[in-house]
């Protein structure tokens, strides 16, 4: 009988930013860490969200002992509404705030079936099959973020979660370096560590820097101050409340996700707000402009967000005016730059004074830079190392950092989604692959949209569509009249009229040469496509989608 080995299988988050999900498997026990989503890339036309392919765990769902969530960001909890209904009441463990945010997420999607949420405090150990799991505090851009310690029959595995080392966090606890050093002294089999900012030298600045900047801008703004940030960035909201209280301003919250997060954070005690400082958005017009601070969603230029609606003069309660100071307390997620730039331009046009990261230190990110990553590696001293969370270049650079602090290259594993890392106490290798990849969520449809549909959408968005209607005599199989040709998104009709005539003639000629087969629908369809595809490409160097329709008369 072969010796049992620990398997570590990333199903998302490696080779991409987002949709983080990792599986640990030992014999008949499976543990899942995180289940996140990713926002669609530009070429994923019409797609709302991207989630991991769960098929590996669904096929073994009777072995799943639990799901551990590191913190409450979308890229770690966003796929739970799609995963939990497919598992049998599997317990989901997380800290108190994370648990509250998961509840909000499940309620949004009306998910009640198969939900078994449990709060796990830092330092508390639980047994899940052959695994013993403990959460420890890490500093990130949301309170209650955790790293994860997993004791397995082969040794200790540490998952850093998303972290940075900030000795003066606004709320929440600093990363527990002493716990990591303690485990490092005991001996750690495998370290899985966040690679998101492995490109950046030095240290990530403290949140304190942002607090000082916000205080300065709120103190000196002549009119309203509008601050946009990620809805989950509770520490930033706390900094805004503190500065507003100090300078006698009232705080208003705009945007559904921001309102829900603030509400649950206040309820659970993760946000502290003096009495009377928070106002209802509908009362904003009753306040003098120099007494208002507005915190809003829209830091990524999302079309339906509150800030973008303000920029488009489309918000119910707030209209941008000269004298407003608008602070973008975030950095654009890669791919969102043009949306954010468009919003900033629109705000400038309306007379606002806009401040973003290039103009002032109004944002710091929540991930460790190179020196912090090296410090964790030095404290933990893992036998084996696997970088997680990041595009392939981030993982590769993190692997180089591990080499620079003494981890032997043969003990570093740069992996991709679906790879299987097999480990025992003195052995490790990548051995095989499981099903993984993107599952697209489009409206109510999950996983029904495939590569063919996306390619079709890309083609339609690029070169438009040409519809060809051909009438054929039912008895004789001869063409009746000439084909009708319509276009949408290919060319302007007035430019297209000359081409229509020529393409009709080319089509009639091609079909005349095929006399006797005009009744054969599949033959006619391919003949029409081939003829017009070549004709339009020769004339315009574009390839519209060609849809033939045959009508028998």
DSSP letter for each residue of 455-513: HHHHHHHHH-EEEEEEEE-TTT--B-S--EEEEESSS-HHHHHHHHHHHHHHHHHHHHT
Instruction: Give the residue carrying structure tokens 């939900």.
Output: 115
Cα–Cα distance for residue pair 551/553, rounded to 1 Å: 6
Q: What is the 3-state secondary structure (H, E, C) of 40-76?
A: CCCCCCCCCEEEECCHHHHCCHHHEEEEECCCCCHHH
Query: Cα–chain-centroid distance for residue 217?
Result: 30
Cα–Cα distance for residue pair 15/21, rounded to 1 Å: 12
C-alpha distances out from residue 390 to 33, 367, 417, Å: 16, 11, 11
> Apex CA 417: angle with CA 415 and CA 421, to 5°?
50
Cα–Cα distance for residue pair 172/81, rounded to 1 Å: 27
SS3 state of residue 25: strand
Query: Nearest 10 degrees: CA dihedral of 139, 143, 144, 149?
Result: -20
Cα–Cα distance for residue pair 65/61, rounded to 1 Å: 9
* Residues carrying an active site annotation: 194, 367
In 3D space, the residue among 479, 468, 472, 481 whose CA is nearest the CA of residue 536 turns out to be 468
User: Tokens for 475?
Assistant: 């008895």
Q: How many CB atoms lie within 10 A of CB 415?
A: 20
Contact indicator for 236, 211 with CB cutoff of 8 Å: no
Contact indicator for 221, 197 with CB cutoff of 8 Å: no
Cα–Cα distance for residue pair 346/166, rounded to 1 Å: 35
Helix 256-267 to helix 234-246 angle (10° resolution) is 80
In 3D space, the residue among 548, 362, 374, 376 whose CA is nearest the CA of residue 470 turns out to be 548
User: Tokens for 24?
Assistant: 């640990």
Q: Across 72-159, where does the E strand assignment appear?
A: 91-94, 116-119, 125-128, 131-137, 146-152, 155-159
């Amino acid at each position: 009988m072969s010796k049992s080995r620990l398997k570590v299988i990333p199903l998302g988050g490696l080779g991409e930013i987002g949709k983080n999900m990792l599986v640990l498997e030992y014999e008949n026990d499976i543990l899942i860490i995180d289940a996140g989503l990713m926002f669609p890339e530009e070429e994923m036309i019409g797609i709302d969200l991207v989630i991991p392919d769960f098929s590996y765990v669904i096929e073994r769902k009777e072995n799943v002992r639990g799901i551990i969530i590191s913190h409450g960001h979308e890229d770690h909890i966003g796929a739970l509404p799609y995963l939990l209904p497919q598992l049998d009441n599997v317990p989901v463990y997380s800290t108190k705030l994370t648990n509250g945010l998961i509840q909000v997420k499940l309620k949004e999607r009306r998910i009640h079936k198969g939900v078994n949420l449990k709060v796990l405090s830092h330092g508390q150990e639980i047994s899940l099959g052959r695994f013993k799991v403990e959460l420890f505090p890490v500093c990130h851009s949301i309170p209650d973020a955790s790293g994860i310690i997993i004791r397995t029959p082969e040794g200790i595995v540490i998952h850093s979660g998303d972290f940075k080392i900030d000795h003066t966090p606004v709320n929440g606890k600093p990363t527990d370096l002493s716990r990591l050093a303690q485990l490092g002294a005991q001996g750690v089999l495998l370290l899985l560590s966040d690679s998101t900012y492995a490109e950046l030298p030095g240290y990530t600045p403290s949140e304190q820097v942002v607090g000082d900047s916000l205080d300065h801008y709120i103190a000196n703004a002549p009119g309203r101050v509008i601050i946009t940030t990620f809805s989950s960035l509770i520490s930033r909201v706390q900094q805004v409340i503190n500065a507003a209280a100090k300078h006698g301003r009232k705080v208003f919250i705009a945007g559904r996700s921001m309102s829900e997060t603030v509400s649950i954070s206040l309820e659970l005690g993760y946000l502290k707000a003096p009495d009377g400082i928070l106002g209802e958005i509908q009362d904003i017009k009753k306040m003098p402009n120099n007494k208002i601070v507005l915190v809003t969603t829209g830091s990524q230029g999302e079309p339906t967000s509150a800030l973008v609606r303000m920029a488009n003069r489309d918000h119910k309660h707030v209209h941008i005016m000269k004298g407003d100071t608008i602070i973008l307390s975030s950095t654009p997620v890669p791919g969102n730059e043009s949306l954010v730039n468009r919003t900033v331009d629109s705000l400038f046009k309306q007379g606002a004074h806009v401040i973003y990261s290039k103009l002032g230190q109004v944002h710091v990110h929540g991930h460790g830079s190179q020196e912090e990553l090296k410090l964790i590696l030095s404290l933990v001293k893992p036998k084996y190392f696997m970088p997680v969370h990041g595009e392939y270049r981030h993982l590769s650079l993190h692997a180089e950092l591990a080499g620079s602090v003494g981890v032997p290259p043969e003990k570093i594993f740069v992996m991709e989604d679906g790879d299987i890392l097999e480990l025992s106490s003195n052995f490790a290798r990548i051995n095989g692959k499981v099903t993984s990849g993107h599952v697209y969520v489009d409206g109510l449809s999950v996983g029904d949209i495939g590569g063919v549909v996306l390619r079709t959408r890309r083609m339609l968005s690029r070169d438009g569509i040409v519809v060809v209607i051909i009438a054929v005599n039912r008895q004789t199989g001869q063409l009746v009249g000439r084909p009708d040709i319509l276009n949408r998104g290919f060319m302007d009709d007035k430019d297209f009229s000359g081409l229509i005539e020529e393409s009709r003639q080319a089509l009639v000629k091609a079909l005349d040469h095929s006399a006797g087969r005009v009744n054969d629908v599949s033959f006619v369809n391919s003949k029409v496509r081939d003829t017009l595809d070549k004709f339009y490409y020769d004339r315009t160097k574009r390839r519209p989608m060609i849809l033939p329709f045959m009508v028998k008369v």
